[in-house]
Structure 1
């Protein structure tokens, strides 16, 4: 997550949505008063001990809200990027099994393992995207803007225009190698992802085929 006091925005970094590309671009606009929590490529921590102790930068807006204060939280532009959950789950599996050949050789078996046999419930990358962006009721989005991975550059350009900062072409950082997500699925896997990430599908308007 990035909190910019200079430009009055909060970027909630949802895992597997191109967050490091966005971070790199936003850092060029940050001032000394701005803060970031991140644990990959760059190691930075928020100035609040309880949050700094968390070993990643994928903090929820709910977690940061009490530390920032209600006035700043309400006044800062809050945004994030989201991704089709079906595509994101394929990316998650490919990422977790990187360095080997299991996913390339038996992708559906690997997906079924994470989805049904041993779901990594506590892993931040496995959590629904909405879990980082909603209020305590679990349904009300705290974000002012949502960008989409499927329209990454256009979304970033629009967000920068809203903030009032200069946009630039986003780099590709920390990507995983896999084909079109649709070819990895059978009906059982479709139903499994649809059940697990039902709230993401509903809140962000996705279907198996794309943006609904």
Structure 2
């Protein structure tokens, strides 16, 4: 998340929607009293401080940002976020979870303990629900059907990050990862900044709904029904 007091804008960083790329790009134009949570070196460094002091974190919602700023100031700010096709976003989470697990690896003791009681070690990244779900899944379809997947913050519906309790949008602009260059250009024009956008944390893959079993696809459609409708994505 970015809250720029100088430029008067709020960027809501939704999981697996190019938020890191956008925050790193926009950080180049921030001033010393602007707030960036996560993604950049300083954003990661002070994330715990801001979480304790103002109750916000990297993936805080628009509603939480409004609570921090107050309704009058929030209304004066330009608020925006980026979303992604729900199936591609879920697959990005799956790929990212597998990468985290692969890069960390279990120690011999942890492997023996897992073989004995089926419990993953209580440390990052194995304590993350999406990582456990990915490791226990043989395919993307299995991941979409795993109960731990839907308990992970990264798999929560995108509308919850940009809407109020009644499901109404409370941001001014919602860009799409599928048209990120065009939409980011619009953002830069609105903010009157010129910064390059570089892709970061990309999974380098794109999966279509056809690679899900019928049951898995139905599950994704049900879980993300409001995302499909609100953001104009096809659920087929």
Give the shorter-chain TM-score range: 0.7 to 0.9
Deviation of 1:5 after TM superposition, in Å, equals 0.7
Number of residue pairs aligned between Structure 1 and Structure 2: 200
Q: By how many angstroms is 1:44 displaced?
A: 2.8
Structure number, greater radius of gyration: 2
**Residue 75 of structure 1: aligned partner:** 76
Unmatched 5+ stretches in structure 2: 103-134
What is the RMSD of the two structures over their aligned residues, measured on CA atoms?
2.5
- 8 Å contact 1:86–1:181 — kept in the other structure? yes
Instruction: State how 1:7-156 maps to structure 2 within 5 Å.
Output: 7-38=7-38, 42-45=44-47, 46=50, 49=53, 51=55, 56-98=57-99, 99-100=101-102, 109-137=138-166, 139-156=167-184
Structure with greater helix percent: 2
Query: What CA distance in whole angstroms lies between the structure 2 residues aligned with 1:140 and 1:182?
Result: 27
Q: TM-score when scaled to structure 2? A: 0.76
- Kept in 2: contact 1:93–1:110 (CA 8 A): no
Contact 1:17–1:83, Cα closer than 8 Å, also in 2: yes
1:96 shift after superposition: 1.2
Q: Which runs of 4+ in 1 moved over 6 A?
A: none
1:191 has 2:191 as partner: no
Tell me the TM-score normalised to structure 1 length.
Answer: 0.84
Provide closer, same or farther for how the CA distance between residues 180 and 123 of structure 1 changes in structure 2, counting only shifts above 3 A. closer
